[in-house]
Structure 1
Amino acid sequence: MEKKTKLRSLLLGAFFTLLFLGLVSRMYWVQVVEASWLREKAGEVWSKSEVLAAKRGEIVDRNGRTLAEEAVAYTVSVNPELINAKKTSSKSKNSEQLDWDIARGLAAILTMSSDPAEIAELEKKIYGLATKKKSDGSGYLVDVEIKPEGWKIDGETKKKIDAFITELQLKTDSKGNLGINTKETQKRYYPSNRLASHILGYLDKEGKAVGGIESTFDEMLRGKNGTLEHERDARGVELPNSKVTVNPAENGKTVRLTIDQNIQYYVETALKTSYDKWKPKSMTAIAVDPQTMEILAMANAPDFNPNKYWEFGSQSDFINHAVASQYEPGSTFKVVTLAGAVQEGLFNPNDKFPSGKIYVGGRELHDHETRGWGTITYMEGLLRSSNVAFVKLGFEKLGPKLLTDYIMNFGFGKKTGIALPNETKGIVNMKYDSEYGTATYGQGQVLTTLLQQTAAYAAIANGGKLLEPHIVKDIVDSQTGEVIQTFDPKVVREVVSPETAQQTALYLEQVVANQDIGTGRRAYINDYRVAGKTGTANIVIPGKGYSPNTWVITFVGFAPVENPRLLVAVLADQPDLKGNYHYGGEVAAPVFKDIVQQSLRYMNVRSSSGNTATKTETNVESIATVPDVTGQTIAEATKKLKQTGLKPEVLGEGGKVLKQSPAPGTEVAMSQRIVLVTQEAQGMQIPDLTGVSLREAMEICGQLEIQCKANGEGYVVSQAEGEANGGKVVTFELKPLAEPKNEADEKKESDGKKASDGKKAAESDKGEDGNNENSSAEDSQKSGSSEGGTEAKR
């Protein structure tokens, strides 16, 4: 018995000894071995961390005007626990359906659709959120957000919800919170709504950047969130004198664009007017400074409102066609062939060729006027936008290799590098002779973006340099205002010499200035010299070839020619021309004209006539509408013009007016002379043009089909005739209006004026009898602007 007792005591002692040793070991393990890990875990429990949200940076225009910013918004949530409590505890019978009343009321306010079926679905969704329980089913949740419909709503929508809550409180005879909450937060706000929407892109309700600058510069705009950490007890109450750690947020940077909000407005307004009239599939316009290739405006129609990006007509509304769509450019592409031929010394404006049609690689290529205009000069071919002329220049004279080199050097077939998403590179893929032939006038295996064409024309306007287009001017620290990154103009390469660029610009000016046969005459602007080119290309129908009655209409031009400050490109994709391509000239060119007129005056650019337009004044000079005097005698025409307040400039020895410039119906300043041509241009002598503006001198040269060159800027002080490439060339020396003339210049101008006045008086005294052979100016305009044909237009 005693032995058993001792054994039991021994075992019990051993057990407690082992238990003690285990407890000591565990204490050692916890307090020493795992101490740091446990302290870290305890710190996580005690410590409460809050996110300090970074403020997204602003997007502003070149003058600092806000285009995108952060603004106060609200997020709607419901409290199922409180809703259920109100529903069960209220004595009012109207509270029995509180959850459904809340669902119906909020759905009516937050819906993004007018479809009753979709509204009913939203009601069910909100009802489910208003009655949502915890995952273990033990009770109701206390805060459930309604998303995405209730995320980041604006102040106006919040007011509607507040009014609904008040109405519901009266209905249920309840006071206080009914279980509907609105929490203040931040949202992206675009103060100008639709303005520059394709440039900006948008931020969706989940904070994702979609399209435009928002997407490209998302990382810089977003910034970095910070944190705020402090200690708390088990109940979540902050401990007194606890350690507080702050990692401040780093707000996003401000992105300053090159665009000008005012010019952007001019572009969008002109674009919308034409879009509403002609109802194309889409329209696009780009305005740039050709000296730097800074984008001053870029717009598309239709567009969208980034504040309400969910409201749109079609997904295609979000496409920035300026960079993401490619087209057969048509005759605007002829600038490449023309510049290459001038650079290589192959373009003689006085040489002649048979127009109408030409065979290349066994394929017939023809002009938009399929019968042609007979044998004409290359200058007339340019003015009429003859495809045959450019096939001969590009395919026969330059040759396929050199033509391809110029196309590639002008930047086609590769991306421009602009800081916008989804840019396409276009296509340059000629293999056969006929494909090289059609490429000379912008059809076939050549597809371009409007931005590529803009950059190519800018190379002509700025003296021969292809520049990389850019739309961001600099990045600014939003807190200090310090510029931390700039984007300067970048020269890609010199594509032609400055002399070639200047001469090409003068040729393109005559396309606009020649009011008789110039295809770009509808872009004519009274105050400024304009150079430009029209384009009309048939649309390809997959599997069927070219459509005979659907076109892409384009106009690209710049002004003033003597010192280009603005270049504008306009494209209309499949406008409704009622099957008549003659109307093509009325689509894009007038849009160009509206944009350039307003923008140059806003930019305070001196007009080509020497007057300075201002931002607050338009044209203070009296305006008159040119009457139609074609077919009238000199005396009749002079009398009619003087009655309108206009001065005639008679060219030739004939007795009747054969042609006039500007065309009838054009609005001009009272100081501008109206050129009256009285005999066929061939063999006519150019009059003394001393004292007239270069613009008027170029118009007269265009009427007489004489090649002209200019040295200097301002007004003609002297002129000299010479021969070049077998034809007559007139060179004008120019000086600014304010520059004092020497005595010889003054005497020459005085003598010239006397001689001119005497000539006009003699012509005015010629007999007034004879037949009145009025010709239709409207018919003449239509004939000059037509660009039809199976494949290519002007």
Structure 2
Amino acid sequence: MKVSKFTVRRRLFWLLMVLCLLFAALAVRLAYVQIGKGAELSAKAEDSWRRNIPYSAKRGEISDRNGNVLAYNITTPTVMAIPVQIKNPEQTAKSLAPLLGMTEESVLKSITKRQSIVRLQPGGRKITMEKAQQIRDLALPGIVVAEDNKRYYPFGGLAAHILGFTGGYNQGLTGVESKYDSLLSGMNGSVSYLSDAGGRLMPGSSEKYVEPKDGLNLTLTIDKTIQSIIERELDQAMDRLQADSALTIAMNPKTGEILGMAARPGYEPGAYQEYDSAVYNRNLPIWMTYEPGSTFKIITLAAALEEKKVDLLNDRFFDPGYVKVGGATLRCWKKGGHGSQTFLQVVENSCNPGFVALGQRLGKETLFQYIKNFGFGSKTGIDLNGEENGILFKLPQVGPVELATTSFGQGVSVTPIQQITAVSAAINGGKLFKPFVAKAWTNAETGEVVSETKPQLVRQVISE
């Protein structure tokens, strides 16, 4: 069938219109990509081309309450390789191996990995400044010496269990180094460059430096002088008594601030690998549980006075040297007993039978409520990891004997931090404070105080 010229022209016209519409749509799309999305796509392209050489932020310093620095950083360079930029891997490995204390084979294996950046480990991490300069002087293509930091503890093992230590990448592992790792570590920076798909440096491109943001400085509640004294005394006691372990806590009873805390055996944070992990993982003042004995009588006495169950000057008690409770004989430390005495003398003489009488006057419900109110049986919440709860009798299990032994500190298990916190509440006006070691945070550059820990009252346990 013959098609008329008019039909052909009409079809060509509509084809032309369709092509014009397609061209207009393409132009609009191109304009949108170039103008509307241009900056975003350019940034994505640059991001895909950019390679980063990390620069570590300086970890915040840790000081005592008087400004004595207990932990700070030493600049320690680290060697990195950009494999695609290395022109002669065998010669590069041969030149680096003796400087890094590594074999040529291990260096060669590292620098030929299919990665954008490789750390030369272990020999290339945290090297000396002199060795870093020697490597820079070699001017080896693809080998970069970046800045890193190493933690230094100038007073050796002083306050080790409070400070803790950092690992190979300056990450906190124990103590306040771990507890406050995110605040101390800061944000790392980098030097970045543009590379092609093969990882080679793009001609004419410039490096981009992102400055690292240093961590905050931490001021502790501890006093270096007090800490030094208690550690000296612990060392002497360990030597004199040939003890397996020893510990001390010094606390401000009016605030809960820890002024000193130490345990033996101790360790040096900078050489923690040389010690048994049980030594640095167990902070005895907050981890160890023990039977408090006569020091626990302070709690029974405080409860009896608060409940008006005793008149220390006018009430009397006769101590024959023992007391029979529920078929058990509980003895006084003094053979033959103290005889007739006031309850003030019961306290002065630390007389077990006299405290059994106070416990009986209180009854198990009242005595154990005071014990819990003083913080026993639960964690104090001190800002250190590894705290234990201690162990108390469950109230249904408390019979006459359990009540009697608890009243003079036997049959219960407490932690040293619980004991010092409770005794502080007994003598500071009845206020139970939460113990803490982190006093304040400051900006490393400006010295401005970012935050400060205020004393936290848990509860009023007894009246003043």
In the other structure, the counterpart of 1:295 is: 258
Summarize deviations over 1:91-111 as a string: whole Å, max 9, x none.
xxxx9xx97xx49x937xxxx
Post-superposition offset of 1:366: 2.1
Q: What pairs up with 1:603-622 in 2 under 5 angstroms?
A: none
Give the TM-score normalised by the residue count of structure 2: 0.78
CA contact (8 A) 1:330 1:442 kept: yes
* Selected match of 2:91 from 63, 79, 85: 85
1:132 matched to 2:109? The reply is: yes
In the other structure, the counterpart of 1:472 is: 438
Post-superposition offset of 1:34: 7.2
Mapped to 1, the partners of 2:293 and 2:169 lie a distance apart of: 43
Secondary structure of 2:238's partner? helix
1:255 matched to 2:218? The reply is: yes
1:408 matched to 2:372? The reply is: yes
The change in CA–CA distance for 1:392 and 1:212 in structure 2 (over 3 A counts) is same
In the other structure, the counterpart of 2:319 is: 354
CA contact (8 A) 2:299 2:371 kept: yes
Q: What pairs up with 1:104-123 in 2 under 5 angstroms?
A: 106=101
In the other structure, the counterpart of 1:338 is: 301
The change in CA–CA distance for 1:359 and 1:181 in structure 2 (over 3 A counts) is farther
CA contact (8 A) 1:258 1:470 kept: yes
The change in CA–CA distance for 1:82 and 1:450 in structure 2 (over 3 A counts) is farther
Identity over aligned residues, as a percent? 35
Q: What pairs up with 1:743-782 in 2 under 5 angstroms?
A: none
Q: Which has the larger radius of gyration?
A: 1
The change in CA–CA distance for 1:448 and 1:480 in structure 2 (over 3 A counts) is same
Q: What pairs up with 1:304-703 in 2 under 5 angstroms?
A: 304-343=267-306, 344-348=308-312, 351-369=316-334, 371-373=335-337, 375-377=339-341, 378-394=343-359, 396-430=360-394, 431-433=397-399, 434-444=401-411, 446-498=412-464
2:187 partner amino acid = K
Mapped to 2, the partners of 1:129 and 1:460 lie a distance apart of: 64
Summarize deviations over 1:531-572 as a string: whole Å, max 9, x none.
xxxxxxxxxxxxxxxxxxxxxxxxxxxxxxxxxxxxxxxxxx
In the other structure, the counterpart of 2:46 is: 43
In the other structure, the counterpart of 1:642 is: none
Summarize deviations over 1:254-282 as a string: whole Å, max 9, x none.
11111111111111111111112223232
Higher relative contact order (CA 8 A, sep 6+): 2
The unaligned stretches of length 5 or more in structure 2 are 1-22
In the other structure, the counterpart of 1:744 is: none
In the other structure, the counterpart of 1:282 is: 245
Post-superposition offset of 1:393: 1.4
1:216 partner amino acid = K
The change in CA–CA distance for 1:233 and 1:262 in structure 2 (over 3 A counts) is same
Post-superposition offset of 1:300: 0.8
Summarize deviations over 1:547-601 as a string: whole Å, max 9, x none.
xxxxxxxxxxxxxxxxxxxxxxxxxxxxxxxxxxxxxxxxxxxxxxxxxxxxxxx
Post-superposition offset of 1:303: 1.5
The change in CA–CA distance for 1:46 and 1:75 in structure 2 (over 3 A counts) is closer
In the other structure, the counterpart of 2:204 is: 239
In the other structure, the counterpart of 1:212 is: 175
Mapped to 1, the partners of 2:163 and 2:192 lie a distance apart of: 36
In the other structure, the counterpart of 1:65 is: 68
The change in CA–CA distance for 1:232 and 1:150 in structure 2 (over 3 A counts) is closer
Secondary structure of 2:356's partner? helix
The change in CA–CA distance for 1:297 and 1:87 in structure 2 (over 3 A counts) is closer
Summarize deviations over 1:322-376 as a string: whole Å, max 9, x none.
112222211111110122223324153561322422222333322334x432524
Mapped to 1, the partners of 2:436 and 2:338 lie a distance apart of: 45
The change in CA–CA distance for 1:210 and 1:314 in structure 2 (over 3 A counts) is closer
1:424 partner amino acid = E
Post-superposition offset of 1:87: 9.6
1:483 partner amino acid = V
RMSD: 4.1
The change in CA–CA distance for 1:193 and 1:238 in structure 2 (over 3 A counts) is farther
CA contact (8 A) 2:56 2:147 kept: no
Post-superposition offset of 1:409: 1.7
Post-superposition offset of 1:494: 2.4
The change in CA–CA distance for 1:454 and 1:41 in structure 2 (over 3 A counts) is closer
The unaligned stretches of length 5 or more in structure 1 are 1-23, 89-94, 108-125, 167-174, 499-794
CA contact (8 A) 1:291 1:461 kept: no
1:485 partner amino acid = S
Summarize deviations over 1:450-509 as a string: whole Å, max 9, x none.
1111111212332222222121222222222222222122222222222xxxxxxxxxxx
CA contact (8 A) 2:72 2:151 kept: yes
CA contact (8 A) 1:355 1:389 kept: no
Mapped to 2, the partners of 1:150 and 1:248 lie a distance apart of: 23
* Selected match of 2:126 from 141, 152, 155: 152
In the other structure, the counterpart of 2:15 is: none
CA contact (8 A) 2:58 2:214 kept: yes
